[in-house]
Structure 1
């Protein structure tokens, strides 16, 4: 799993010596006032943010959403990354925890079945100021700093546009028919299944894909999970790109105007155009981070977070996720 931020395209790679975890600063508005969710843990008698360790085979975003639900009963979609905490559990054993901002909708809160248990004794919605007084650990305060910066900048509520490179397909040299008809390998099919939960973690509802078979097959498991029909288009296909007929601008422009979470499944050569058009459509200064975000391995995806309330903010951040399959 790899994360890159828009600022400098920093890369974080998992170290086998570290323990990885993920969580969120869960927030809501109550009578127009911002409140964040704290959990009171039974065993440790402390107050902290919802988080938990990565299960085998999980990607970080998937872990964050699962842990929030398991600890609070609230289903959330992830927003902007707000920081990474690092601390030592014991000598030479570091714990690394990735956090996102995550809005709790009123419906999600009503549907929560949380009751105090042997792990969590209670939940508490508090102001950011009070959270600073209640949190038990300095590393949580650092995460709260990242969250509060989003609040101060007026860009807390966001929506993602996700660029996904298709999963592993049969090579051109091994395929006798048209390039667009190439199918996924067995590994590719496993990759397509593995990225469903991480993509759902960002609240994806709309699926747009190149009409190439390898792209359509890549997003089929996601489409089934959402019970939604993907939109197929040659505008972001490799064939159209090679012939000069692609039009990433039209596709991206519509997605930015719509302001809804979406995933676009395309091809390696087309991805740089997708990110260039995303920067252009949002008034974002170009930089090397765009190249980093578009240089995706097969089945990897980059999440561009855009402000839902302040369009002039441009791309708030970009993070890249790579499946281990």
Structure 2
């Protein structure tokens, strides 16, 4: 690692309901004699969302899903800058077993957790977690890298197949596999995709991993969108109202229409120029965290660019 390269870590503030209200999970690391939140370094090539889920599981034994992002903490470790990314974590299952990294855990209400934390920078994260609103994800995904249109047209297959049959490249297939953990992190339960092969193959690995069906959306294919963008916009509006965590996979030329539809539906707590920016590279993901009590209200937005 270069001397100036940042250390990237990911973790979560995991919560559960206790006898007197919300409790927060703290871990004790015997080798550091500290109390903090579960987190760890992102492995090379690993998606930061996947890393957050993995680290919590490895350190505590708990399976979780992620909610809204919490403040990233930047500090120095052995002379190097470290970014620790956190999310609110919803407890799903599991049991703690002491291990090489964590010898003890504690589930504590806010005030006791605040008093027990070793590091001052963790207090900002805890406070943000205490103020976090329950959300459900709505994700927009541009298909991963596909064979270029010109290359496909002059290939043997391209001479007899329509553009919608254009496949992913080897890199695109790797990108699709890397998205499995990222989509799983938010508990995506419904998969909607353009019926073009490159979109179907982008969400295919996740669908297989979770045994989920893929609902094909012809209106958000390049061809159908070109003929009737209004129909595509209307369909996006319908999908945005689904109460389950949803992902929609589509194409670069369709994304401006998708974003126009969402910007006309959603209200955003803190809107920026990037909130509805359609400029996504292949395999990039936008996650809109919708308030569970008002699916039209966006609490937070995350952009993950490949």
Tell me the TM-score normalized by structure 1: 0.85
How many residues are treated as equivalent by the alignment?
A: 297
Q: What CA deviation, in whole Å up to 9, does each residue of 1:265-314 have, x standing for no partner? A: 0011212322332233333487522343x3111011111100112446x1
Q: 2:14 aligns with which of 20, 26, 43?
A: 26
Contact 2:241 2:295 (C-alpha < 8 Å) held by counterparts: no
Query: Which residue in 1 is equivalent to 2:273?
Result: 288
Q: 1:146 aligns with which of 108, 117, 128?
A: 128
Distance 1:131 1:252, change over 3 A: farther
Structure 2: how far apart are the matches of 1:229 and 1:148?
A: 35
1:37 aligns with 2:25: yes
Query: Which residue in 2 is equivalent to 1:121?
Result: 103
1:79 aligns with 2:67: yes
Structure 2: how far apart are the matches of 1:251 and 1:144?
A: 39
Query: Which residue in 2 is equivalent to 1:99?
Result: 86
Structure 2: how far apart are the matches of 1:164 and 1:278?
A: 14
* SS of residue in 1 equivalent to 2:88: strand
Query: Which residue in 1 is equivalent to 2:42?
Result: 54
Query: Which residue in 1 is equivalent to 2:157?
Result: none
Query: Which residue in 2 is equivalent to 1:162?
Result: 139
Query: Which residue in 1 is equivalent to 2:260?
Result: 276
* SS of residue in 1 equivalent to 2:131: helix
Structure 2: how far apart are the matches of 1:245 and 1:94?
A: 46
Query: Which residue in 2 is equivalent to 1:180?
Result: 164
Q: What CA deviation, in whole Å up to 9, does each residue of 1:65-86 have, x standing for no partner? A: 0001111111111110011001
Structural RMSD (CA): 2.1
Q: Which has the higher contact order (CA 8 A, sep 6+)?
A: 1
Structure 1: how far apart are the matches of 2:162 and 2:100?
A: 58
For structure 1, the 5+ residue unaligned runs are 1-14
1:136 aligns with 2:128: no
1:245: how far off?
A: 4.6
1:16: how far off?
A: 6.2
Q: What CA deviation, in whole Å up to 9, does each residue of 1:85-112 have, x standing for no partner? A: 0111123x1111100011114xx1xxx2
Query: Which residue in 2 is equivalent to 1:6?
Result: none
